[in-house]
């Protein structure tokens, strides 16, 4: 089948890989003018890691990734007040664990399809018209085209979801936080293989050293308004200039960069992910929130399962879509429920909450306690073994 995929992120590129592998003809449509790498740091493990192994890209991901050794919480004067040995989690998860920028993961997947799949950049879908035997997709610049299926893998603020299912307000649930991330050059100090965080009530800033003399800075803060500002850098100054620690230096470094990721922390909850020949996948359908920690792994898993169910159904999209949603929805909804608990870690409301959080970080070095928390880390999902 001819399958249009809106979005060239992790979900879209992974789906294109599996669809091409199973004999379909995917076309990826991306509104950005070129493929985007980099981005905020993610931890990658679980069923998504298993799918990456089946794609044959594990070695590349490990080469690009970072084996973080510690997670440290510091005071305003830089003293470490709590630290977690990352090996506590590796003991639970085994070797299938690495940390890397989200866009680098997408770039690795993209490299597997670049010579085989049509990629259309600097283009957006403006209308979707479905017929009995296909779907007509209209674009901002190009002439309309006919496809058999349309997959919206275009993220939290999905354009396909808005066109086919309704306005964002019906499905996006704001969790009361905003987040910003940027990669800066030459920042000092550097703490290699450490995730270093500083927090005051309602605000947290973190940094992690990257290769090539780069540093990733991440800002998270509580905000009752779900709106996005016209000047995100000005908002960061308003929220963090007086916070202490290295905030003035980090803000100055961020001012010098052209690319700043800034977004709301939200979840997407929908009663149904499909409508006719259109299906939503990844964050477009069931975003667990950026702070949930496993969105990319879930996106890769969804891509594999969707392609597998289409293959198993012999191209019958109705049967495949229903089987896909029946299999994935309980898993995604459970992840969404767990993700809301992470808000207290990234944007703790009170000083007592910060004290208790630091106590919990120190306690997690105890292997017995870590094993008790294993249920929130391990994936309770039976990954199918499709013959694809």
Encode pLDDT of 306-354 as tens digits.
999 999 999 899 999 999 999 999 999 988 987 777 777 777 888 988 8
| C-alpha distances in Å from residue 364, one per residue of 87, 340, 358 | 11, 20, 10
CA distance 166 to 240: 36
Is pLDDT of 55 > 90? yes
- Residues 6 or more apart whose CB falls under 8 angstroms from that of 323 comprise 309, 312, 313
Q: Alpha carbon of 9 to those of 37, 40, 42, 174, 248: distances in Å? A: 9, 13, 14, 22, 32
- For residue 378, name the pLDDT band (cuts at 50, 70, 90): low
pLDDT tens by residue, 211-249: 999 999 999 999 999 999 999 999 999 999 999 999 999
CATH among 3.50.50.60, 3.40.710.10, 3.20.20.100, 3.30.1700.10 for 2-172+266-376: 3.50.50.60
**Confidence (pLDDT) at 231:** 96
- 144-191 per-position pLDDT tens digit: 999 999 999 999 999 999 999 999 999 999 999 999 999 999 999 999
The answer to whether residue 43 scores a pLDDT higher than 60 is: yes
Dist CA 190 CA 209 (whole Å):
6
Structure token pair of residue 54: 């089946």
pLDDT tens per residue across span 188-205 = 999 999 999 999 999 999
Q: Where are the domains of the chain?
A: 2-172+266-376
- What is the per-residue pLDDT across 345-370, written as a single tens digit (0 to 9) for each? 777 888 988 888 888 788 777 665 55
Percent of the chain with pLDDT over 90: 74
Q: How many other CB atoms sit within 10 Å of the CB of residue 158?
A: 26
Q: In the structure, what pLDDT confidence band is assigned to residue 376 with cuts at 50, 70 and 90?
A: low
8 A C-beta contact, residue 48 and residue 288 = no
**Tens digits of per-residue pLDDT, 75-129?**
999 999 999 888 777 766 667 888 888 888 999 999 999 999 999 999 999 999 9
pLDDT, average across residues 270-299: 91
């Amino acid at each position: 089948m001819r399958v249009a995929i809106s979005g060239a992120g992790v979900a879209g590129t992974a789906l294109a890989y599996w669809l091409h592998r199973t004999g379909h003809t995917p076309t990826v449509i991306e509104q950005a003018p070129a493929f985007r790498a980099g981005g905020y740091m993610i931890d990658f493990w679980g069923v998504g890691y298993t799918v990456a192994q089946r794609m044959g890209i594990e070695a590349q991901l490990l080469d690009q990734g970072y084996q973080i050794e510690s997670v440290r919480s510091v005071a305003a004067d830089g003293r470490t007040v709590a630290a977690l040995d990352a090996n506590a989690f590796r003991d639970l998860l085994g070797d299938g664990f690495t940390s890397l920028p989200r866009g680098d993961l997408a770039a690795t997947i993209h490299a597997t399809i670049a010579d085989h799949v049509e990629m259309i950049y600097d283009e957006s879908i403006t209308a979707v018209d479905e017929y009995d035997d296909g779907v007509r997709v209209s674009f901002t610049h190009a002439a309309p085209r006919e496809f058999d299926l349309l997959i919206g893998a275009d993220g939290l603020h999905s354009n396909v979801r808005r066109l086919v299912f309704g306005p964002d307000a019906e499905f996006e649930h704001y969790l009361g936080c905003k987040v910003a991330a940027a990669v800066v050059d030459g920042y000092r100090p550097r703490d290699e293989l450490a995730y270093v965080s500083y927090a005051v009530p309602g605000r947290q800033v973190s940094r992690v050293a990257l290769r090539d003399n780069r540093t990733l800075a991440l800002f998270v803060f509580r905000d009752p308004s779900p709106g996005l500002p016209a000047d995100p850098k000005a908002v960061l100054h308003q929220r963090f200039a007086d916070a202490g620690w290295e905030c003035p230096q980090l803000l100055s470094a961020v001012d010098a960069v052209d690319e700043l990721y800034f977004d709301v922390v939200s979840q997407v909850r929908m009663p149904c992910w499909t409508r006719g020949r259109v299906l939503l996948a990844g964050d477009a359908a069931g975003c667990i929130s950026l702070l949930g920690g496993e969105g990319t792994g879930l996106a890769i898993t969804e891509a594999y399962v969707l392609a597998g169910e289409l293959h198993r159904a012999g191209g019958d999209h109705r049967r495949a879509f229903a089987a896909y949603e029946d299999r994935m929805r309980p898993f995604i909804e459970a992840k969404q429920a767990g993700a809301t608990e992470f808000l207290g870690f990234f944007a703790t409301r009170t000083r007592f909450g910060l004290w208790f959080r630091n106590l919990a970080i120190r306690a997690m070095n105890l292997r017995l306690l870590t094993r008790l928390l294993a249920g929130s880390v391990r994936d309770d999902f039976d990954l199918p073994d499709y013959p694809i």
